[in-house]
Structure 1
Amino acid sequence: MFKRIFVPVDGSDTSLHALQMACRLARESGGVLRLAHVMDRAAYLTGYDVSGGASGALFDALQSSAQKILAEAQAAADAAGVQADTVLVNELGSSLGEAIAAAATGWQADLIVTGTHGRSGPSRLLLGSGADQIIRLAPVPVLVTRG
């Protein structure tokens, strides 16, 4: 059974569903979770500044949002009684799939659990489906959940 389960989280409903599935798998197998959030480079690529300020303020806003997403995911894992830790993946030069594959490899994950999507609109068109990228580049099996 899977003992080291890597779970990308982005705060979306599909991400939450994947986290819930990963928690069930971890409980059943005695496994642990690594909850990872990849800094969103879509804002840089599209020129959309969510903070309304300069690039330094944008980075701070993205990092603050990422930390909130990770804290919420950690709280969900804790509530499910599953051992988990978090990591903020800051690979702004990499695609989502590349960043997740590298982080999962570095942690020696034996499974990645992800939702079917978390992005929409221009971000999805520009970056492609996150789940598709992960499946293509993952060094380990990938369980894709539908929310």
Structure 2
Amino acid sequence: MYQRILVPLDGSDTSLAGLDEAVRLALLHGATLRLVHAFNTFKFRPGHASHASYASLLPEMKAEGERLLQQGRERAERSGAKVETKLLVSLTLSLSELVAEDAEDWKADLIVAGTRGRKGIERILWGSEAQHVTRMATMPVLLVQAPETGATG
């Protein structure tokens, strides 16, 4: 049923729970996983007070994204899953827009994303990138909550 499963990663336990579920589905269906890490630069456009300091951080941000993707790849490949990775960077799109657009371009059958499962006022104040993806995506989205460990994150 699923042949192409896209998984956004940010290095959190929550996104790793999403990855683990995606690996199980990929193995069950013989699907390929596409792990993505997204960041945008629109908050730091030229002329913004922090642009100079941000420009010096961009290579580090890219390197960290690549490191997270490599760790995710290794984790999935240890289970025998077929994996590819992609770093998503945009000047104008939000993280959720980047993920939804890449899923569409790649012709993903499913997006599997970890979510913190915020409730009440915390959900209103902080929102959820994963929930934004569900509103933008043209394919099914599976939200996976990480098991509670007593710590927030």
Q: TM-score range, shorter-chain basis?
A: 0.7 to 0.9
Query: 2:10 & 2:41 partners in 1: Cα distance?
Result: 13
Shift of 1:42: 8.7
- Cα root mean square deviation, aligned: 2.4
Report sequence identity in percent. 38
- The reply to whether residue 64 of structure 1 matches residue 59 of structure 2 is no
Using the size of structure 2 for normalisation, the TM-score is 0.80
Query: 2:125 & 2:57 partners in 1: Cα distance?
Result: 22
Shift of 1:29: 0.4
Unaligned runs of 5+ in 2: 118-123, 147-153
Three-state SS of the structure 2 residue aligned to 1:86 is strand
Three-state SS of the structure 2 residue aligned to 1:93 is coil
Q: Tell me the residue number matched to 1:104.
A: 103
Shift of 1:44: 4.0
Contact 1:7 1:36 in 2 (8 A): yes
Name the CA shift for 1:58/1:89 in 2 (closer, same or farther; >3 Å): same
Contact 2:7 2:22 in 1 (8 A): yes
Shift of 1:43: 7.2
Three-state SS of the structure 2 residue aligned to 1:54 is helix
Which structure is larger by alpha-carbon Rg, 1 or 2? 2
Contact 1:3 1:32 in 2 (8 A): yes
Deviations 1:4-37 (A, max 9, x none): 0000011000100000000000000011100000
Name the CA shift for 1:61/1:129 in 2 (closer, same or farther; >3 Å): same
Matches within 5 A, 1:1-147: 1-39=1-39, 41=41, 44=44, 54-117=53-116, 128-147=127-146
Name the CA shift for 1:131/1:69 in 2 (closer, same or farther; >3 Å): same
Shift of 1:54: 2.2
The code of the aligned residue for 1:76 comes to R
Contact 1:113 1:143 in 2 (8 A): yes
The code of the aligned residue for 2:72 comes to A
Aligned length: 136
Shift of 1:55: 2.4
Unaligned runs of 5+ in 1: 119-123
Using the size of structure 1 for normalisation, the TM-score is 0.83
Contact 1:117 1:131 in 2 (8 A): no
